[in-house]
Amino acid sequence: MTETNHDAPSLEDYRASVRSWLAQVEKPDVPLDLDGRFAVLRQWQRALFDAGWIGISWSREAGGQGLTPLHQMVFAEELARAGAPQPIGLIGLDVVGPSIDHYGSPEQKATLLPRLLSGDDIWCQGFSEPNSGSDLASLRTRARVEGDEFVIDGQKVWTSWAHKAQWCALLARTDPDAPKHKGISYILVDMSTPGVTVRPLVQMTGDEEFCEVFFEDVRVPVSNLVGELNAGWSIAQHTLGDERGSYTLRRCVEYEVAVEDAVQELRSHFAASGNRPDDHVCEQVGRAYTAVQGLEGQTRKTMERKMNGEGPSAYDSVDKLSLNETEQLMYTSITDLLGPLRNVTDARPLGLDAARWTKEHYYSRAASIYGGTSQVQRNIIAERLLGLPRG
């Protein structure tokens, strides 16, 4: 997807240019409430886009910079270490957009990708269903062809940012008589189309980031089909591979910075009190640090695969499973230090920001579900990497 760019700067020069820009730009303060966070991060994405920091490893034809995944990783590292947030449109940037770039028609790329990159259009991913999440190929949402339109009926769930999105990358069954991995098509749906209904779901964090989406006689132009009719499963695997690989790379950097933040908060507290941390504090921080370092080693292998041009594979499931376990262990270890004050939002036990760490801990509980459950990842690893029999 990324062409060779012989004019690409060295990683050292690129890192220096990123640091220089981040030192000069005003970085946004991101509120905890969902609507405020969305608005701020959307403006931030536009600022990054205008400055040339969006689509770093995308092809130039798609509006990207044509650089390598290593350059993208450098930018993610420097962004996190500068205390700057990620842009809001990561489902489009990391997940859906690369598949449109790879499989989409010239018209789809020219029309959709510039607005995706800038954040003018936010995307959601219509894959999981109430009874077809872990076993995605059993999905029941239907799309029948009538003239030059698809008519779509069905329901999706756990659809992040659907209530804020302008577009949805939808998987629908277009041949009900085909085997379950066949007869699925990848269709782009304008979320303002009549018949699309979005119902936000309240998470344990108090946010409404996930949604149910209902499709009732939704008419979509056949030109919104990505790739060939009934050939959407392979495109879905490309999308999921990008999601698991890119997401793991980015989150690993964020976890490293989070552990550093926790250590700094604890260090400041104990320096001010004149006390030393006890064994429990050291053990919990050590668990968090060790987990993140293990994931960092795993992401190096992921980067090697990306640099070698390898597409989605069963190794993406190793990445996702490693991320699940690291995220939950890390945030649990830090939140345990809050003790009974974890639900007191303005408390700072041991100098730790209770509101921040508790919310991160709550969100981390979903890590073993979103983007493919841990059970599914273990099955993929067992069957495709270890050669174990099904069941």
List 129, 243, 256, 327, catalytic entry: 243
Burial letters 185-220, b for 16+ CB under 10 A, else e: bbbbbebeeeebebebeeeebebbbbbbbbbeebeb
What is d(CA 71, CA 190) in angstroms, rounded to the nearest whole number?
A: 32
In a 13 Å sphere around the CA of 167, the CA atoms on its Cβ side amount to 23
Q: Which two tokens stand for residue 248?
A: 């793991």
Q: 58: which DSSP letter?
A: S
DSSP string, 149-189: EEEEEEEE-S-TTTTT-SEEEEEEES-TTS-TTSSEEEEEE
CB-CB contact of 47 with 25 (8 Å): yes
Tell me whether residue 243 is one of the annotated catalytic residues: yes
Residues 6+ apart with CB under 8 A from 372: 134, 240, 244, 317, 320
Backbone angles phi, psi at 23, to 5 degrees: -70, -25
Count of beta carbons in the 10 Å neighbourhood of residue 271: 10
Coarse DSSP helix, strand, coil percentages of the chain, rounded to the nearest 5 percent? 55, 15, 35
d(CA 120, CA 107): 18
Q: In terms of Cα–Cα distance, which of 109, 130, 108, 56 is closest to 86?
A: 56
- d(C-alpha 105, C-alpha 212), whole Å: 29
Token pair, residue 294, equals 């293990």
Q: Are strands 123-126 and 167-173 parallel, antiparallel or unpaired?
A: parallel
Indicate which residues carry an active-site annotation.
243
